[in-house]
């Protein structure tokens, strides 16, 4: 079971710049599971679970974003870890969550 789980929303210029692929790559590097999806309002939403330090590293990456992105805000809410994710995946736009 994961030691920390978050639900996050990233706002700014975060669609059309490879942001979901960036998040997926960073999640793989730090070893967290979950998902990322574009939202209809132009934001990017994600859920991530893993070791607390690894989740914190992903949050730090979200605040920077890939080249071409302009992150204006990152909202993070802790949630109860479920351990239900086996990998990190990119989901289609406007996914309703878990």
pLDDT, tens only, 56-93 = 999 999 999 999 999 999 999 999 999 999 999 999 86
Q: Is 63 marked active-site?
A: no
Residue 94 is assigned to a structural domain of this protein = no
Backbone angles phi, psi at 61, to 5 degrees: -65, -40
Is 11 an active-site residue? no
What pLDDT score was predicted for residue 96? Answer: 55
78 pairs with which residues across the strands? 6
- 33, 55, 68 from 5: Cα distances, Å: 9, 8, 28
- Is the whole-model pTM more than 0.85? yes
Q: Which residue is catalytic, options 38, 63, 79, 87?
A: 38
Here the tokens at position 21 are 């692929």
Domain interval for residue 11: 4-82
In sequence order, what are the beta bridge partners of 76? 8
Q: Is residue 93 part of a domain?
A: no
Active-site pick, 4, 11, 20, 25? 20
Average pLDDT, the chain: 93
Q: Residue 94: its pLDDT value, please? A: 56
Q: What is the CATH number of the domain that holds 48?
A: 3.30.70.100
Structural domain includes residue 16: yes
What is the tally of structural domains in the chain?
1
């Amino acid at each position: 079971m994961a030691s920390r789980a978050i639900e996050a929303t990233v706002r700014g210029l975060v669609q059309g710049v490879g942001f979901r692929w960036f998040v997926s790559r960073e999640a793989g590097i730090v070893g967290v599971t979950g998902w990322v999806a574009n939202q209809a309002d132009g934001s990017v939403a994600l859920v991530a679970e893993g070791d607390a330090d690894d989740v914190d590293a992903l949050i730090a990456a979200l605040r920077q974003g890939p080249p071409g992105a302009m992150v204006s805000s990152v909202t993070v809410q802790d949630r109860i870890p479920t351990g239900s994710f086996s990998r990190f995946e990119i989901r289609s736009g406007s996914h309703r969550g878990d």
